[in-house]
Amino acid sequence: MRIGIIGVGTVGSGVVEIIEQKRDEFHAKFGVLLEIAGVVAKTEEELAPFKAKGYKGFTDAMAILEDESISVICELAGGYDLPFKWITKALENGKHVVTANKALLAKHGSEIFPLAGQKKCHVLFEAAVGGGIPIIRSLQESLLGSNVESLSCIINGTCNYILTRMVAEGLSFEAVLADAQKLGFAEADPSFDIDGIDSAHKTAILASLCSGRFVNFENIHITGIREIAAQDIQFVQELGGVVRLLGIYNRVGDKVDARVHPCIVPSEHLLASVKYVLNAVYLQCDNLGPTLQTGAGAGKLPTASAVVADLVSLARSIETGQREPLPMGWFQKENSADLVPIGETSTRCYFRFVTKDNYGVLAKITGILGENQISIESILQKNTHNKGKVDIVVTTAKAKESSIQAALAKINALPEISEKSRMIRFLE
C-alpha cells in the first residue's frame, strides 16, 4: 500500500520511524506492505532528513494528491483550511485518508465523512482522540453489542497536568501553568487547551460516535479551567474529591447532552486515578456496564502508533481483501443531534462565595438558593483570606442549571459578595 504523508513534524516523523521499525513484521504477519511513497513538508529544510533516507519529498501536497499510485494519504500537518482542501482532494481522487487532526474533523468532519461515504473511501482517525487509547475503534467496533448511555473523558493532557499538580502541590492555577509552559506541558498560548476548545473538539467527535448523530462542537457548552482556584482544589479535597476537566456525553431519550467543564470527581472513582498528562475515557453502557480506557493522550510515538495501527487495518481491508469502509456518512449536519441546552441540565453543585463580612450574608445566600429551588446539602465556612474575607462553600442537591445561573447572578449582585462566585459541577 503506497502512502503519502503530509506533515513530517513530531507525529509525522514518528509514523515514518515506526513504519521503518515494523514494516517487515507487518509484511510477514499480515501480507501487507506499508510503503512510504512520498512525504510533504513546508520547506526543503524539513524534507532534507527524509530525502537523505531515500524518500521522495515535496513542498507541494498536490504532487502526492495527484499521484495515482498512492492509495492513502496520511494527514498529519494540523490546522483547518489546507488539510481540509488536501483531504477533500484526496477523497475526490479516490484515496483513503488517515488523520490525527481532531480540530479538522470537529470543524469539517460533516463535509469529509459524507464525501468519503460517496467515494467509498476509508477515513480512519484513531489518533485524533486520545492517541494512546484505542477509543475510536472501541466505539466503532468492539462495543457494538451495547448502547453507550454516558461518557466522561479526560481528554486534554495539559489541563489534567495542571489540575493534578494543583491538587498534589497546593499551588495556584497561574503558578502551575507558568511552570507547565516552562516544562513543555503547555503551549506558549495555552488558551486552546485550558479554555476547553481542544476537549470540546474531541468530545464532539466521541459524542457523535456514541449517539450516531452529528454533534456540532460549536453548539456544546464549554467552560475551561482558568477560574479554578487553589482554594477550590483544597475545599473539594475536604469534600472527598478532585477536580478534573471532563468532556461529557449523556443520552437523554432521543436527545444528546454534550458539554465540557470542570467536574468534581469522587476520590474513589477511577477517573480520579487518572493523573498528569494521562487521558481517559469512562463509558457507561447498557449491556456492557462501566468501562474505562486510559493511556497517553498525545506525544510523538503514542500518536504515531495509533496512526500506524490505522494504516495496517486499512491495508488489510484494501490490499488482502475488500472490506467496506465503516459507514460514517451519517456524520453530517442534516443528521444533527438534538442537543439538550445547558440550562436544562441538572447537576449537584459546589459553590464558593467570597464575602466581605458574613454578618447576615449566609441568610441572604441560602434565601436566594431556596427561592430558586436549590436544596443545600452542606455548608462549610472558613476564614481562609486576610482582611476579613470569608469563604462560604455550599454543596447542593441536584439542581437545574438555569436555576443555578439565576441564583448566582442574584448572589453576585449582593453588596457583601467581594468577588465572582465560583461554581463547579459534580460528576453524576
Question: At closest approach, how far in Å is the CB of 14 from a copy of itself?
Answer: 8
Q: How many other CB atoms are found less than 10 A from the CB of residue 190?
A: 18
Question: At closest approach, how far in Å is the CB of 310 from a copy of itself?
Answer: 9
Using CB under 8 A as the binding rule, whether residue 144 contacts a copy of itself is answered as yes
Among 222, 301, 376, 414, which residue sits at the site for a copy of itself (rule: CB under 8 A)?
A: 301
Among 87, 97, 159, 296, which residue sits at the site for a copy of itself (rule: CB under 8 A)?
A: 296
Among 5, 6, 18, 166, which residue sits at the site for a copy of itself (rule: CB under 8 A)?
A: 18
Q: Parallel, antiparallel, or unpaired: how do β-strands 255-266 and 221-222 relate?
A: parallel
Using CB under 8 A as the binding rule, whether residue 294 contacts a copy of itself is answered as yes
Q: Looking at 134-142, 170-178, 373-381, 382-390, which segment touches a copy of itself (CB under 8 A)?
A: 134-142
Site mask for a copy of itself (CB under 8 A), range 208-247, x = bound: ----x-----------------------------------
Using CB under 8 A as the binding rule, whether residue 27 contacts a copy of itself is answered as no
Among 51, 323, 333, 420, which residue sits at the site for a copy of itself (rule: CB under 8 A)?
A: 323
Using CB under 8 A as the binding rule, whether residue 156 contacts a copy of itself is answered as no
Nearer to a copy of itself, 177 or 318 (CB): 318
For residue 276, give the nearest of 187, 132, 194, 180 by alpha carbon: 180
As given in the structure block, the three cell numbers for residue 397 are 442537591
Question: At closest approach, how far in Å is the CB of 355 from a copy of itself?
Answer: 37
Using CB under 8 A as the binding rule, whether residue 205 contacts a copy of itself is answered as no
Question: At closest approach, how far in Å is the CB of 309 from a copy of itself?
Answer: 5
Cα–Cα distance, 292 to 272 (Å, whole number): 12
For residue 356, give the nearest of 322, 392, 330 by alpha carbon: 392
From the candidates 202, 300, 356, 400, give the one annotated as an active-site residue.
202
Among 24, 31, 80, 240, which residue sits at the site for a copy of itself (rule: CB under 8 A)?
A: 31
As given in the structure block, the three cell numbers for residue 317 are 481491508
Using CB under 8 A as the binding rule, whether residue 254 contacts a copy of itself is answered as no
Cα–Cα distance, 62 to 46 (Å, whole number): 17
Cα–Cα distance, 419 to 8 (Å, whole number): 47
Contacts 24+ apart (CB under 8 A), 320-327: 320/30, 320/31, 320/32, 324/120, 325/96, 325/116, 325/117, 325/120, 325/121, 325/122, 325/123, 326/122, 326/140, 326/141, 327/117
Cα–Cα distance, 64 to 160 (Å, whole number): 38
Instruction: Please give the backbone phi and psi of residue 132, each rounded to the nearest 5 degrees, phi first.
Output: -90, 5
Question: At closest approach, how far in Å is the CB of 69 from a copy of itself?
Answer: 23
CB 10 within 8 A of CB 77: no
Question: At closest approach, how far in Å is the CB of 288 from a copy of itself?
Answer: 5
Using CB under 8 A as the binding rule, whether residue 22 contacts a copy of itself is answered as yes
CB 59 within 8 A of CB 43: yes
202 is catalytic: yes
Nearer to a copy of itself, 146 or 172 (CB): 146
Nearer to a copy of itself, 216 or 317 (CB): 317
Please count the residues of this chain forming the interface with a copy of itself, following the rule CB under 8 A.
56
Using CB under 8 A as the binding rule, whether residue 309 contacts a copy of itself is answered as yes
DSSP secondary structure letters along 11-48: HHHHHHHHHHHHHHHHHHHHS---EEEEEE-SSHHHHH
Question: At closest approach, how far in Å is the CB of 153 from a copy of itself?
Answer: 14
Cα–Cα distance, 242 to 230 (Å, whole number): 12
As given in the structure block, the three cell numbers for residue 43 are 520547506
Using CB under 8 A as the binding rule, whether residue 35 contacts a copy of itself is answered as no
Q: Give, as one character, the DSSP assignment of residue 142.
A: I
Among 133, 148, 225, 245, which residue sits at the site for a copy of itself (rule: CB under 8 A)?
A: 133
* Distance separating the N- and C-terminal Cα atoms of the chain: 46
Q: Please list every residue from 57 through 116 that binds a copy of itself, using CB under 8 A.
A: none
Using CB under 8 A as the binding rule, whether residue 119 contacts a copy of itself is answered as no
Collect all residues with Cβ–Cβ distance below 8 Å to 131 and sequence separation of at least 6: 100, 279, 295, 296, 297, 298, 299, 302, 303, 305, 306
By annotation, the residues acting in catalysis are: 202
Binding site residues, a copy of itself, CB under 8 A: 14, 18, 22, 26, 29-31, 126, 132-134, 137-138, 141-146, 212, 268, 270, 272-274, 285-296, 299, 301-302, 304-309, 312-313, 316-317, 320-324, 327
